[in-house]
Amino acid sequence: MSQEHAVPGGLGDPALDPVGVAEPGAVTIVVPTFNESANVAALLRQITESVPSRLPCEVVFVDDSTDDTPEAIRRAAQDCPFPVTVLHREEPAGGLGGAVVEGIRAATSDWVVVMDGDCQHPPALVPELVATGERTNAGLVVASRYLEGGSRAGLAGGYRVAVSRGATWLAKALFPRRLHGISDPMSGFFAIRRSTVTADELKPLGYKILLELAVRARPRMVAEVPFVFRERFAGESKSTAREGLRFLRHLTGLRTEAPPARMVVFGLIGLTGFLPNLAALWALTGAGVHYLPAEIAANQFGVAWNFLLIETLLFRERRRHRHWADRTARFALLANADLVVRLPLIALLVGRFGMTAVPATALALAITFVLRFVGTEALVYLPRRRRPRRSTP
């Protein structure tokens, strides 16, 4: 990553030194850019007109461009009365969201405001977002298109509007508590207190960085301010259908972060595995195969089905630790061991503990299910990086 300070002064200027500034502090404006050379000058001009007189600021561009955006920023920064930094990334890890996290890492002020580089977000709102956070003691202030006084006028076309609606609804349905009080979790315009965020805990994936922050950083208080999502100044949106898929993966990842939630999804996937299992059993016995070998063969269809779903949905991010053939073998072994272990376990529960067949079978099913889940986690998809242990006082 290359870094350049385009213009010194501003926050470094003793007159605007954040240490000497009382309420509401200072702000670092983080702007992710991907080929926005025709927009950055207009954006910096708008920021210059509306922010520094009300709130000391610095601007950090995190750029993944393949065009001359960094040069365009450097040229435009000459006229800015605040420091402008360009972090150009050779490897655009995490896309838009990854860029924002880099920007937050580089920020030096108490408040970080994230906004797009195409002038769809009005810079005049930046001081208001921060002031609202200070006034309400919120850790996160979202600029929302869905509050009264806001609008999504600049969202190009009915298709984008429908997708945005659906995505908002889905996210709020999956995270009713953590997105409580956020009418626009898809917004790309928001202010966050730097103290609420630990950049290393974030796993951004594509566009929806606010969702990542709201769910993972869990600010205690959230406030919202309405805003009008304007038309792009120049160029076109970088959002694609691929971003849509990334969003779904991001949601699944966030939702299955906690082991209990993962176990529920693991169980639901297991239930759907009965279908291919029974279908194969029906076909094999229909073809005259004895039911015992047919059971064993049919079970493999269920196992294969479960494996595919678990690989693509549940453990997608953890597949790298092992070769796919290794994972397949381990998974198949565990899934079949399940069958082998269950019968002796039932016999033990009945013979030793005096249970009757049905509760013994139910208990054995539950035990082998949990064992299989734990075994699959530990033996097939061991996490790459262990969390640092909490030190107990």
| Contacts to ligand GDD by CB under 6 A | 32-34, 36, 62-64, 92, 95-96, 99, 116-118, 120, 155, 164, 186, 188, 207, 237-239
Please answer whether residues 179 and 214 qualify as being in contact, where contact means their C-beta atoms are separated by less than 8 angstroms. yes
Binding part of the chain for Mn ion, among 114-122, 219-227, 333-341, 382-390 by CB under 5 A, reads 114-122
How far, in Å, CA of 217 to CA of 316, rounded?
A: 22
- Under a CB-based contact definition with an 8 Å cutoff, are residues 85 and 58 in contact? yes
Between the alpha carbon of residue 275 and those of residues 111, 266, 283, the distances in Å are: 52, 16, 12
- Provide the minimum distance between the beta carbon of 40 and Mn ion in the complex, in angstroms, as a whole number: 13
Q: Tell me which of ligand GDD, Mn ion, none is bound by residue 238, counting a contact when its beta carbon lies within the kind-specific cut-off of 5 to 8 angstroms.
A: ligand GDD
Q: What is the largest CA-CA distance in the chain?
A: 89
C-beta closer to ligand GDD: residue 165 or 318: 165
The site partner of 102 among ligand GDD, Mn ion, none (C-beta below 5 to 8 Å per kind) is none
* Alpha helix segments (H runs only) across the chain: 40-50, 69-77, 95-106, 126-136, 157-174, 209-212, 241-255, 259-272, 274-286, 291-309, 324-351, 357-375
118 versus 377: smaller Cβ distance to Mn ion: 118
CB of 119 to Mn ion, least distance (A): 9
243 binds, among ligand GDD, Mn ion, none (CB under 5 to 8 A by kind): none
Tokens of 89: 């990334």
Tell me how far, at minimum, the Cβ of 167 lies from ligand GDD, in Å.
Answer: 8
Residues 32/100, Cβ–Cβ less than 8 Å: yes
Number of residues that bind Mn ion (CB under 5 A): 3
Tell me how far CA of residue 344 lies from CA of 113, 336, 350, 364, in angstroms: 61, 14, 10, 9
The contacts of residue 45 (CB under 8 Å, 6+ apart) are 76, 79
Q: Are 227 and 265 a contacting pair, CB within 8 Å?
A: no
Nearest approach, Cβ of residue 123 and ligand GDD (Å)? 13
Q: Which of 65, 69, 85, 120 binds Mn ion (CB under 5 A)?
A: 120
C-alpha separations of 144 from 41, 172, 185, 188 in Å:
25, 14, 8, 9
Shortest distance, position 131 Cβ to ligand GDD, whole Å: 22
What is the Cα gyration radius of the chain? Answer: 26
Picked from Mn ion, ligand GDD, none, the partner binding residue 311 (CB below 5 to 8 A depending on kind) is: none
Residue 347 CB neighbour total at 10 angstroms: 12
Nearest distance from C-beta of residue 207 to ligand GDD, angstroms: 4
The distance of closest approach from Cβ of residue 295 to Mn ion in the complex, given in angstroms and rounded to an integer, is 56
Among 118, 184, 212, 377, binds Mn ion (CB under 5 A): 118
Nearest to 47 by CA among 100, 126, 139: 126
Return the number of the residue (209 or 284) whose C-beta is nearest ligand GDD: 209
The side-by-side arrangement of strands in the sheet containing 84-88 is 2-7, 84-88, 57-63, 27-33, 111-114, 190-193, 140-144, 222-226
Assess 36 for contact with Mn ion (CB under 5 A): no
Q: How far is the CB of 187 from ligand GDD (least distance, A)?
A: 6
C-beta of 87 vs 284, nearer to ligand GDD: 87
Q: Which stretch binds Mn ion (CB under 5 A): 119-127, 130-138, 167-175, 373-381?
A: 119-127
If the CB atoms of residues 205 and 284 are measured against ligand GDD, the closer one turns out to be: 205
- Nearer to ligand GDD by Cβ, of 118 and 311: the residue is 118
Applying CB under 5 A, which residues contact Mn ion?
116, 118, 120
